């Protein structure tokens, strides 16, 4: 699959301040460039003690700025010129000292100058703290972080874990891949700001005995992509996940892990009414064994395969749609044939406003897909040209479509 160019056309000023986390910034530059961004690195004097400008110039393809008196600028105003060209200023790592500067409006070198001089209405300030756990927990640092957040800065992290000093705790700079995801999210339109979205994802596993069970090939990738896209769009997301091996999407995502359809039902139903949208992407087993064998079913000496009775699982989507005041319900129909007919039948049977159909065998476990949107008025395909797209791109398109429908319903 081709590389994602989520930052194509974006210009990022990446500021480095003094801290051992500067070693991560080299990989961050590489990832930002790989995502399509042009990156202009600006370093403080302290940052140069940890990593050389030569390294960052090689990775960014641009000369690194370190001085407010840089003679390359005809007007000797690098702080103005660099900030006017940027779509965002990202400080990674941001030391405790530099955060204090931002909070106080001090501007005694190039990086703090350009942060103060940036046109805030169109150039965001993203700050990734990096410091010892005691420095992070200090009341002065917490006051300063709260102040710059109140002034409009976006705080990315920090993470928690081992620190260079040998201690463990909060204060680590986020990993480069995490920062990339946060930068990409920053540029996504907030189409679901203030909304609460409940999503189910992945398969369910219905045990036959302590080691065997009934399940399916669903990977959960589409549901997790939708959780990420909804969080990027500003929603508070609750993700109820079956047994999958996927990391929780970044952002405002609360994850609840379940195994069986009954467990998923019990996790969803009490929460559904408190959400604006319910997206049922999970491939929930329709049936489960009526009874669970206490021990593993053995085959020794048996000539005939064991049989067991099945009983129907609760229909989670139908139960949510039947609530007195249901959220906007989006069902998924994974079919092997006659996709439109089966999707429309499900739409009508469960009385839903929208069904998203796809051919399960063609998409389970894959990173790309095509979707069929079916409602009472007709149907449409995503992508619109009838091709396939990666699941995150599809998820963002579907989130935009859901947001449009919510606004239409409100009007």
Nearest to 268 by CA among 324, 318, 194, 220: 318
> How is residue 98 written in tokens?
């530099």
User: For the CA atoms of the chain, what is the radius of gyration?
Assistant: 25
DSSP string, 347-410: HHHHT-SEEEEEEHHHHTT-SEE-EEEEETTEEEEESTTS--EEHHHHHHHHHHHHHHHHHHHH
- Of residues 123, 160, 165, 329, which has the active-site annotation? 165
115 belongs to the catalytic site: no
| CA 198 to centroid of chain Cα atoms | 15
Supply 277's token pair: 């949208």
Question: Which neighbouring-strand residues pair with 333?
Answer: 357
Beta strands in 17-167 (DSSP E): 38-43, 88-94, 124-129, 154-155, 159-162
Is residue 325 within 8 Å of residue 273, measured between CB atoms? yes
Please confirm whether the linkage preceding 22 is cis (ω < 30° from 0).
Answer: no
Q: Is 12 helix (H, G, I), strand (E, B) or coil?
A: strand
Active-site amino acid positions: 165
């Amino acid at each position: 699959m081709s590389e994602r160019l989520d930052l194509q056309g974006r210009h990022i000023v990446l500021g480095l301040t003094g801290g051992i986390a500067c070693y991560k910034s080299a990989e961050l530059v590489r990832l930002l460039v790989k995502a399509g961004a042009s990156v202009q690195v600006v370093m403080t004097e302290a940052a140069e003690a940890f990593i050389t400008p030569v390294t960052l110039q090689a990775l960014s393809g641009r000369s690194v700025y370190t001085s407010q008196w840089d003679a390359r600028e005809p007007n000797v105003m690098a702080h103005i010129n660099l900030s006017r060209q940027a779509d965002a200023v990202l400080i990674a790592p941001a030391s405790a000292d530099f955060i204090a500067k931002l909070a106080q409006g001090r501007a005694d070198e190039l990086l703090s100058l350009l942060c103060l001089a940036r046109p805030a209405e169109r150039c965001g300030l993203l700050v990734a703290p990096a410091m010892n756990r005691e420095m992070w927990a200090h009341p002065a640092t917490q006051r300063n972080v709260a102040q710059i957040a109140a002034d409009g800065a976006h705080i990315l992290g920090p993470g928690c874990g081992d620190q260079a000093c040998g201690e463990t705790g909060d204060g680590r700079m986020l990993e480069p891949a995490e920062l990339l995801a946060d930068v990409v999210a920053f540029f996504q339109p907030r189409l679901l700001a203030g909304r609460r979205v409940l999503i189910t994802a992945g398969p369910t596993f219905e045990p036959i005995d302590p080691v065997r069970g009934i399940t399916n090939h669903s990977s959960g990738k589409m549901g997790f992509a939708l959780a990420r896209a909804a969080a990027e769009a500003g929603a508070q997301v609750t993700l109820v996940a079956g047994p999958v091996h996927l990391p929780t999407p970044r952002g405002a995502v609360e994850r609840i892990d379940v195994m069986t359809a009954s467990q998923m039902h019990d996790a969803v139903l009490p929460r559904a009414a408190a959400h604006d949208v319910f997206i049922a992407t999970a491939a929930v087993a329709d049936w489960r064994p009526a009874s669970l064998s206490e021990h593993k079913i053995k085959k020794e000496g048996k000539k005939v395969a064991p049989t067991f009775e099945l009983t129907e699982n609760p229909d989670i989507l139908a139960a949510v749609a039947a609530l007195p005041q249901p959220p906007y319900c989006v069902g998924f129909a994974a079919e092997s044939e006659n996709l439109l007919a089966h999707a429309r039948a499900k739409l009508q049977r469960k009385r839903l406003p929208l069904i998203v159909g796809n051919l399960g065998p063609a998409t389970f476990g894959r990173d790309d897909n095509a979707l069929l949107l079916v409602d009472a008025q007709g149907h449409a395909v995503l992508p619109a040209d009838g091709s396939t797209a990666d699941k995150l791109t599809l998820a963002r398109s579907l989130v935009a479509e859901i947001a449009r429908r919510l606004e239409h319903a409100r009007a």
